């Protein structure tokens, strides 16, 4: 592509009303950013305005914001996507309330660089300009703008404009380009209809890229839309990438159904939620923030109300910071690392901001003592540490989908962190399609639970061979994934902590312990069948002679059958194993002496039993592949 070498930079204006922001943008780009009728009539900026400039390999998308205190919320919708701030301070007025507020907002949003324009310098004499410069230097001391160039300009006389462009270009070279490798995300700041085209949304493309024909998701509500047209910087394009002001013509929706604050995103990747865990910072000039205070919450282009739950504190002091959970009134599409601003509920002024740590946080629970530590890892940890911590707090295991929703990581990042943790034996892949990761500590925990359950089952049911898989699985609660259970079970088997007998799971070493009268009864059953040889008594008859009740007797019989001391040959005939072994011996002798064919009469004669036993026994031998039916006779195999 021809423009891959072009760097895309979003520049946002900031500063008090009437300090010359919009005029300066017009002087730089030739476009007056005020676009609304009312703005033109009143000569003030109410909502965001946009203009573009391409110079020496840099394409600037300017976002011009309103300076009026009543429209700070509109300013916030524009400020969240900017790479560079153009802080506008009129030489004849200097630092005013929205100079401070806008500057605080840029700082809290994590804007890294900027240029300061001392505007209207044609209205100030040399001394005044010198003093202004000193005051501005004092104002930005110790902040991200401490070393930013301060350029005296005048839109009226064109003074300083060339110098300002140079300063912007130098600052643009310093900033990191937005990440085009991540999921496509476009927080929407405008939605309107264009005659003959339908709905168009605009915004600053935060990350990833978008192309004509793509299917994208509108969040909330999670509606899939097709990209019918694309523009960046006022020109139609095939493709737009992170860092560009972008207009998207979407098919299949009325523009009125789309609002500022919604997000266009890669299909099926991100999800809206109403609970975010965050690092919250309070401005030094703000009043203390109380537990459960309500604040206005701004992130991306969204504005809603949040209730603040401080972690481990009742109050946040001015100038301080705390971990907190924000409960939002509306669905928000957030990603770990997103910056946000909070404003006092009333009167509405900016009081702080912070960074999203977990955009899909669990409900705040007092008994969750590991929370602060977990959030600490989300805040400062490496991807590997974060993945491990997430897995360790999740008995269900964590899927790739959940990891993406909570971190915004791409597949490749997840795979490499997971692999490294697997190599270190800290997590295990419970399933690879779909990917489910489980921490070893969680497996150890599940293993303990399963063993305890197996042991209890054994105590409660001493005559049963073990607990069934289904029953054991149920003991983990119904939300445990089958893959997790299967892997945990496999692990216990491997470690020989349990043994598997068909459907039954037994704790290793667990023995069936029989009471003395049961032992006696068991012996009696064995004796009865062993004495009878092949002319066995009926099961009912044998059990009836025992001194214990039928239900227990039945269980004893089951144990003997399972242990293969006795063998069930037909529905109502049971034989002792020795008798059947002897029969096998007899057949072998017969074959040697008389050949491999035997009829029913010969079989009866050989074994000395009646037809009642002979037929089921022969059928049993057929099933066992000791004999094979051939007409009226059997072939001894």
Ligand X SMILES: Nc1nc2c(ncn2[C@@H]2O[C@H](COP(=O)(O)OP(=O)(O)O)[C@@H](O)[C@H]2O)c(=O)[nH]1
- The first and second tokens of residue 508, run together, are 């290793």
Q: Lay out the site mask for Mg ion across 6-45 (x = CB under 5 A, - = otherwise).
A: ---------------xx----------------------x
Full DSSP string of 324-361:
EEEEEEEEE---TT-EEEEEESSS--EEEEEEEEETTP
Which stretch, 18-26, 211-219, 283-291, 550-558, contacts ligand X (CB under 6 A)?
Answer: 18-26
Which stretch, 11-19, 273-281, 430-438, 610-618, contacts ligand X (CB under 6 A)?
Answer: 11-19
Q: Count how many residues are written for the chain.
A: 637
Q: Rule CB under 6 A: is residue 20 a binding residue for ligand X?
A: yes
Which member of 17, 396, 410, 451 binds ligand X (CB under 6 A)?
17
In the 3-class helix/strand/coil scheme, how is 180-219 assigned residue by residue?
CCCCCEEEEEEEEEECCCEEEEEEECCECEEECCCEEEEE
Q: Angle of helix 411-423 relative to helix 383-392, nearest 10 degrees?
A: 70
Instruction: Choose between 16 and 21: whose C-beta lies nearer to Mg ion.
Output: 21
β partners of residue 438: 428
Q: Identify what 119 binds: Mg ion, ligand X, none; CB under 5 to 8 Å per kind.
A: ligand X
CB 90 to ligand X: min, Å: 8
Q: Identify what 74 binds: ligand X, Mg ion, none; CB under 5 to 8 Å per kind.
A: none
In the 3-class helix/strand/coil scheme, how is 596-607 assigned residue by residue?
CEEEHHHHHHHH
Q: How far is CA 205 from the centre of its chain?
A: 22
Which member of 8, 11, 23, 218 binds ligand X (CB under 6 A)?
23
Q: Rule CB under 6 A: is residue 21 a binding residue for ligand X?
A: yes
Instruction: Choose between 23 and 301: whose C-beta lies nearer to Mg ion.
Output: 23
CB 88 to Mg ion: min, Å: 9
Tally helices (H) and strands (E) across the chain. 19, 34
β partners of residue 190: 202
Question: DSSP 3-state assignment of 104?
Answer: helix
Which stretch, 103-111, 115-123, 404-412, 558-566, contacts ligand X (CB under 6 A)?
Answer: 115-123
Instruction: Choose between 51 and 289: whose C-beta lies nearer to Mg ion.
Output: 51
In the 3-class helix/strand/coil scheme, how is 552-567 assigned residue by residue?
HHHHHHHHHHHCCCEE
- Listed residue (483, 489, 475) closest to 432, CA to CA: 483
Instruction: Choose between 153 and 334: whose C-beta lies nearer to ligand X.
Output: 153
Per-residue buried b or exposed e for 133-162, using 16+ beta carbons within 10 Å of the residue's own CB: beebeebbeeebbeebbbbbbbbeeeebbe
CB 163 to ligand X: min, Å: 14
CB 119 to ligand X: min, Å: 5
Q: Rule CB under 6 A: is residue 91 a binding residue for ligand X?
A: no
- The first and second tokens of residue 260, run together, are 């500022």
CB 130 to ligand X: min, Å: 18
Q: Angle of helix 600-607 relative to helix 577-594, nearest 10 degrees?
A: 120
Instruction: Choose between 31 and 497: whose C-beta lies nearer to ligand X.
Output: 31
Q: Lay out the site mask for ligand X across 39-78 (x = CB under 6 A, - = otherwise).
A: -----xx---------------------x-----------
Of the CA atoms within 13 Å of residue 28, those in its CB half-sphere come to 34
Q: Identify what 392 binds: Mg ion, ligand X, none; CB under 5 to 8 Å per kind.
A: none
Q: Identify what 484 binds: ligand X, Mg ion, none; CB under 5 to 8 Å per kind.
A: none
Contact 409, 399 (CB under 8 A): no
Q: Rule CB under 6 A: is residue 120 a binding residue for ligand X?
A: yes
Residue 442 to residue 427: CA distance in whole angstroms: 9
Instruction: Choose between 22 and 325: whose C-beta lies nearer to ligand X.
Output: 22
Instruction: Choose between 16 and 481: whose C-beta lies nearer to ligand X.
Output: 16
Q: Rule CB under 6 A: is residue 155 a binding residue for ligand X?
A: yes
CB 93 to Mg ion: min, Å: 14
Q: Residues 6 or more apart from 601 whose CB is under 8 A from it? A: none
Q: Rule CB under 6 A: is residue 122 a binding residue for ligand X?
A: yes
Q: Residues 6 or more apart from 637 whose CB is under 8 A from it? A: 596, 625, 626, 627, 628
Contact 263, 211 (CB under 8 A): no
CB 53 to ligand X: min, Å: 17
Q: Rule CB under 6 A: is residue 331 a binding residue for ligand X?
A: no
Q: Identify what 155 binds: Mg ion, ligand X, none; CB under 5 to 8 Å per kind.
A: ligand X
Q: Residues 6 or more apart from 41 whose CB is under 8 A from it? A: none
Rg (CA), the chain: 39
Q: Rule CB under 6 A: is residue 123 a binding residue for ligand X?
A: yes
Site size toward ligand X (CB under 6 A) is 18
Which stretch, 154-162, 227-235, 389-397, 493-501, contacts ligand X (CB under 6 A)?
Answer: 154-162
Q: Rule CB under 6 A: is residue 397 a binding residue for ligand X?
A: no
CB 21 to ligand X: min, Å: 3
Dihedral of alpha carbons 274, 280, 281, 283, sign: positive
Instruction: Choose between 45 and 266: whose C-beta lies nearer to Mg ion.
Output: 45
Binding site for Mg ion (CB under 5 A): 21-22, 45
| Binding residues for ligand X (CB under 6 A) | 15, 17-23, 44-45, 67, 119-120, 122-123, 154-156
């Amino acid at each position: 592509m021809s423009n891959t070498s072009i760097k895309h930079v979003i520049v946002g204006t900031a500063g008090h009303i009437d300090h010359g922001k919009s005029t300066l943008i017009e002087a730089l780009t030739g476009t007056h950013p005020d676009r609304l009728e009312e703005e033109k009539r009143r000569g003030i900026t109410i909502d965001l305005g946009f203009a573009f400039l391409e110079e020496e390999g840099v394409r600037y998308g300017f976002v011009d914001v309103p300076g009026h205190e009543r429209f700070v919320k509109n300013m916030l919708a524009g400020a969240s996507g900017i790479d560079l701030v153009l802080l506008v301070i009129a030489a004849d007025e200097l630092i005013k309330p929205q100079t401070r507020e806008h500057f605080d907002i840029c700082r809290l949003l994590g804007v890294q660089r900027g240029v300061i324009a001392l505007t209207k310098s044609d209205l100030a004499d040399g001394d005044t300009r010198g003093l202004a410069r000193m005051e501005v230097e004092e104002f930005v001391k110790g902040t991200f703008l401490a070393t930013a160039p301060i350029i005296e300009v005048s839109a009226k006389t064109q003074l300083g404009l060339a110098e300002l462009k140079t300063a912007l270009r130098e600052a643009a070279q310093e900033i990191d380009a937005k990440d085009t490798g991540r999921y496509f995300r476009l927080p929407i700041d405008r939605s309107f209809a264009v005659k003959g085209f339908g709905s168009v949304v605009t915004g600053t493309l935060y990350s990833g890229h978008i192309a004509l024909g793509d299917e994208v998701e509108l969040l909330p509500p999670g509606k899939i839309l097709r990209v019918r047209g694309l523009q960046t910087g006022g020109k139609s394009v095939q493709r737009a990438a992170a860092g560009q002001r972008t207009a998207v013509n979407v098919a299949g929706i009325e523009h009125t159904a789309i609002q500022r604050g919604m997000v266009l995103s890669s299909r099926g990747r991100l999800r809206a939620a109403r609970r975010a865990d965050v690092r919250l910072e309070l401005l030094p000039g703000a009043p203390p923030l109380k537990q459960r205070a309500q604040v206005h919450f701004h992130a991306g282009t969204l504005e809603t109300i949040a209730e603040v739950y401080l972690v481990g504190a009742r109050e946040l002091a001015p100038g301080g910071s705390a971990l907190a959970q924000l409960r939002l009134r509306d669905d928000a599409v957030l990603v770990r690392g997103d910056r946000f601003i909070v404003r006092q509920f009333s009167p509405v002024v900016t009081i702080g901001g912070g960074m999203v740590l977990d955009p899909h946080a669990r409900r705040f629970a007092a008994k969750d003592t590991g929370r602060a530590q977990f959030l600490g890892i989300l805040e400062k940890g490496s991807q590997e540490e974060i993945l491990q911590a997430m897995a360790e707090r999740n008995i269900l295991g964590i899927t790739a989908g959940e990891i993406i929703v909570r971190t915004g990581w791409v597949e490749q990042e997840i795979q490499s962190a997971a692999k490294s943790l697997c190599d270190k034996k800290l997590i295990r892949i419970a399933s690879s399609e779909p990917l489910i990761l489980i921490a070893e500590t969680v497996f150890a925990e599940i293993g303990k639970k399963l063993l305890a359950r197996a042991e209890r089952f054994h105590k409660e049911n001493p005559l049963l061979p073990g607990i069934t898989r289904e029953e054991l699985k149920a003991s983990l609660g119904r939300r445990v994934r089958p893959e997790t259970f299967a892997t945990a079970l496999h692990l216990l088997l491997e470690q020989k902590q349990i043994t598997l007998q068909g459907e039954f799971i037994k704790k290793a070493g667990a023995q069936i312990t029989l009471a003395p009268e049961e032992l006696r009864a068991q012996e009696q059953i064995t004796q009865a069948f062993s004495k009878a040889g092949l002319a066995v008594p009926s099961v009912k008859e044998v059990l009836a002679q025992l001194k214990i009740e039928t239900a227990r007797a039945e269980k004893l019989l089951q144990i003997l059958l399972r242990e293969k001391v006795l063998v069930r040959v037909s529905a109502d005939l049971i034989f002792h194993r020795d008798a059947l072994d002897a029969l096998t011996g007899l057949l072998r002798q017969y074959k040697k002496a008389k050949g491999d064919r035997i009829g029913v009469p010969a079989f009866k004669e050989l074994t000395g039993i009646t037809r009642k036993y002979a037929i089921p026994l022969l059928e049993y031998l057929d099933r066992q592949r000791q004999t094979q039916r051939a007409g009226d006779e059997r072939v001894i195999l």
